[in-house]
Amino acid sequence: MSEITHRTKTRKVKVGPLTIGGSNELFIQSMTTTKTHDVEATVAEIARLEEAGCQIVRVACPDMRAAEAIPEIKKRINIPLVVDIHFNYKLALKAIEGGADKIRINPGNIGKRANVEAVVNAAKEKGIPIRIGVNAGSLERRILEKYGYPTADGMVESALYHIKILEDLDFHDIIVSLKASDVNLAVEAYEKASKAFDYPLHLGITESGTKFSGSIKSAAGLGILLHKGIGNTLRISLSTDPVDEVKVCRELLKTFGLASNAATLISCPTCGRIQIDLIKIANEVEEYISTIKAPLKVAVLGCAVNGPGEAREADIGIAGGNGEGLLFKHGEIVRKVPEDTMVEELKKEVDKLAKEHYAK
Ligand code: SF4
């Protein structure tokens, strides 16, 4: 496994049993698409997200019905629950009372000081953090007037404004996001924020698009930040099933050597030398290893001419041959396997290696 990229140090903030920031680990977050008051549907979706590898889940809390559903949802899930509130401090109080592990609310948007104090005191009492969510599309009017349009400096200024409100009440369990749908703007805002304060950052490119275009857009933006060691939690926002958001997050973390518990697929692009139906096999193996919680590199290659050597870093792999497949480890061929069973053979070897890893 490649080395974990250097991470920018931040304060540590607890979200349920997880410690965000201050260490190397990044956590994958997603958001439900169900009506939060529909407990059955929400819990079912969270179960699917958990299974896919989601580590923190956020639910929208637009009304009291949603806030009242929090205790029951909380009881039936296994990962920390973040409750997202806009403007209404009473919903925040209800969510905190109901067991939210974190709330997302901007303290500058909930009216008079007494409201802010009530929310901060409740969060302090329960020991839960508050995420300040700055969004380029909804900056404070005075900041927009000052800069003329959404800028990275304006976004950081907005974050600092909300942070100061909390700090003045001696509240420091803060996580900040600075989302924009413009990738360059979001990257610049996060870079500046990482220098302006040391609270953990939740990364995201907002309204990034569909599964295909949004994944590319998010990976492009978040990739720059991850490479620089910026970010402590992340969400890929996509107009699709949120399980896909989690899968893309995992893939992105794996790309940067930031996931210590996931298997990676290496597959060749195919060419005229191909001797097996590689595209079908690659998809099948990718699906199979998606639930493996060990840092294995698994290769599937179209032929044995260059294949095993090209995939030298793979822990295990198969290469197509004439009517048979070759099983190889770290670039060395181990044995021949019949073509029609080679995928099954590979899966068995993957399971064996994963078991060895779990036993360590
Ligand atoms: Fe072509 Fe073989 Fe390389 Fe795949 S492994 S790209 S089939 S040479």
Report percent pLDDT > 90 for the chain: 76
Q: Is the CB of 34 under 6 A from ligand 1?
A: no
Mutation to probe ligand 1, out of 267, 271, 278 (largest number of atoms < 8 A from CB): 271
> How far from the centroid of its chain's Cα atoms is residue 262's Cα?
13
- Is the model's pLDDT at 229 over the cut of 90? yes
Q: Name all domains of the chain by residue range, CATH numbers in brackets.
A: 13-255 (3.20.20.20), 264-359 (3.30.413.10)
The residue whose CA is least distant from atom 6 of ligand 1 is: 270
Phi/psi of residue 18, nearest 5 degrees: -90, 145
Q: Is the CB of 274 under 6 A from ligand 1?
A: yes
Pairwise CA distance, residues 273 & 267, whole Å:
14
- Is the model's pLDDT at 307 over the cut of 70? no
Instruction: Tokens for 104, please give them.
Output: 């997302």
- Is the model's pLDDT at 4 over the cut of 80? no
- Is the model's pLDDT at 3 over the cut of 60? no
Pairwise CA distance, residues 306 & 312, whole Å:
10
Confidence of residue 332 (pLDDT cuts 50, 70, 90): confident
The residue whose CA is least distant from atom 5 of ligand 1 is: 307
Q: Is the CB of 301 under 6 A from ligand 1?
A: yes
Query: pLDDT digit string (tens) for 209-225?
Result: 999 999 999 999 999 99
The model carries a pTM of: 0.90
Q: Is the CB of 273 under 6 A from ligand 1?
A: yes
Pairwise CA distance, residues 73 & 68, whole Å:
10
Confidence of residue 311 (pLDDT cuts 50, 70, 90): confident
Give me the pLDDT at residue 1, please.
37
Q: What secondary structure does DSSP assign to 273-318, as a single string?
A: T--S-HHHHHHHHHHHHTT--S--EEEEES-SSSHHHHTTT-SEEE
Distance 273 CA to ligand 1 centre (A): 6
Confidence of residue 275 (pLDDT cuts 50, 70, 90): confident
Q: Which of 30-39, 269-278, 300-309, 338-347 has the lowest mean pLDDT?
A: 300-309
Residue 356 CB neighbour total at 10 angstroms: 11
Distance 269 CA to ligand 1 centre (A): 7
- Counting from 1 in the atom list of ligand 1, the atom nearest the Cα of 303 is 2
Q: How far is CA 330 from CA 308, 309, 317, in A?
A: 8, 8, 8
Residue, of 94 and 331, whose pLDDT is higher? 94
Report percent pLDDT > 70 for the chain: 97
CB 26 within 8 Å of CB 258: yes
Confidence of residue 299 (pLDDT cuts 50, 70, 90): very high
Give me the pLDDT at residue 2, please.
41
Average pLDDT score, the chain: 92
Query: pLDDT digit string (tens) for 24-80?
Result: 689 999 999 999 999 999 999 999 999 999 999 999 999 999 999 999 999 999 999
